Structure formats: C-alpha cells, structure tokens
Structure 1
Amino acid sequence: MDKQVAAYAELQQLRNELHENVFSAPIFEISAAAWPDDFEMELYTVKNQLDAGIKLFQYDTAEIHAEIFEQIKSRCMSEWPDDHEMKLYTLEKQIEAWRRLNSI
C-alpha cells in the first residue's frame, strides 16, 4: 500500500511540474484509463511515455535526407497516435531498415 501512496504522490508532483500541457495531458489521461486501480503502473506508464516522447521529438539523424526522415516520422505518428513508446520504437526500426537498404 505504501508503494501505491508513493506512486500517487509522484504522479501528482509530475502533474504539477508539467502543468498538464498539450504534450503531457493525454499521457496522464491514457495512463489513468489503462491503470485505474494501480498507481504504480500508471506512474511507470507516464514516465515511459514522457521519456519516449521527449526522445522522439528530439530525434535527429544527419545521414538520412530530411524529407525521407519526415516521411518515416510522420508514418510513425499516424500509426501510433497515442503511444510515444511505439512511435519511437517504430521510428528506430524504420531508420535501421533504411540504413540496411542503403548500405547495399
């Protein structure tokens, strides 16, 4: 029970720090809906989604032409609109595949 209380407190602190902006509000909403009775899992999901979202938006690669990179990124965004972890995973896999195809 103490872990649940601590997780709840940390979730509230994150909400206050992030002011539930356009980026973070959907993450909190989706995580709460997915784990309505488990604050530890909700916190775990929020942290992973925030981390993946930040990495995704900062992701850059100089070796791929900007237009191709944007096409790959756009496809990832449309395939996984509410899941930053899957967007990042898909982006990394698609870039890896592009590298393999273009090193032949």
Structure 2
Amino acid sequence: MSLHDKYARLTPFEIAFPEDSAFSELMVTIRTEAMERGLDPSNLQEFMSLTTVGKAVRDFAAEDERPGVAHRYASLLFHGVSFVAAGSRLFLLETGATRHLIGHSASALPRPPVS
C-alpha cells in the first residue's frame, strides 16, 4: 500500500508497474548491464540500446501489435526507471495551488519550485 493511498489516485507508475519487487529486480539488471557496457541509463538513446530493456519491452508488448508500440513501452520503462532513481517522490497539492503553478508557467516546460 502506497503512502498516498488515502489522498490521491494511483500514479501512472503504479498502474504500469504494480509489482514493486519485479520492477526492482529489473532496475538492478538494467543498471548492471549499463555499467558493464559503459552506458548511461539516464540517456534515453543509451537506455533503449540495452539488451535488458529490449527484452523487457518485448515482454510488456507481447500481445500489443500496434505500430510503434515498442518505442512507447521503452519510453514508459525509461520514465519508470527515472522516477524510481529520483526517489519516487510525489507532491500532493491542493487544486488551487496546482492551478496557480500551471497558470503562471511561461511555457509548457515544467519548472522546479522555488524555495
């Protein structure tokens, strides 16, 4: 059970990767292969070239035959790994605070909060 279960909906990460232990094992395998090959798993192109990632994507997309689906699953996996590597932090904001932050953004690019 996630800490935020009483307060928020499931995150896209929790929907895509409901098995914490299986995802943790996959992350270790990805990191190990990246280290052995001298690749940076935080670089999308290098991440997608990992054999472990290719196998995981094939497993995820086994029954999905839509065009371009492998790239979509690889991107989802990349963002899942990045989310966990960054500490899986979630921020619960009131609706008014969220609207205020979004309304003052000069572009579609996210900005980190100013402390």
State whether TM-score is above 0.5: no
Q: Which has the higher helix share?
A: 1
Higher relative contact order (CA 8 A, sep 6+): 1
Q: Scaled by the length of structure 2, what TM-score is found?
A: 0.26
Q: Scaled by the length of structure 1, what TM-score is found?
A: 0.28
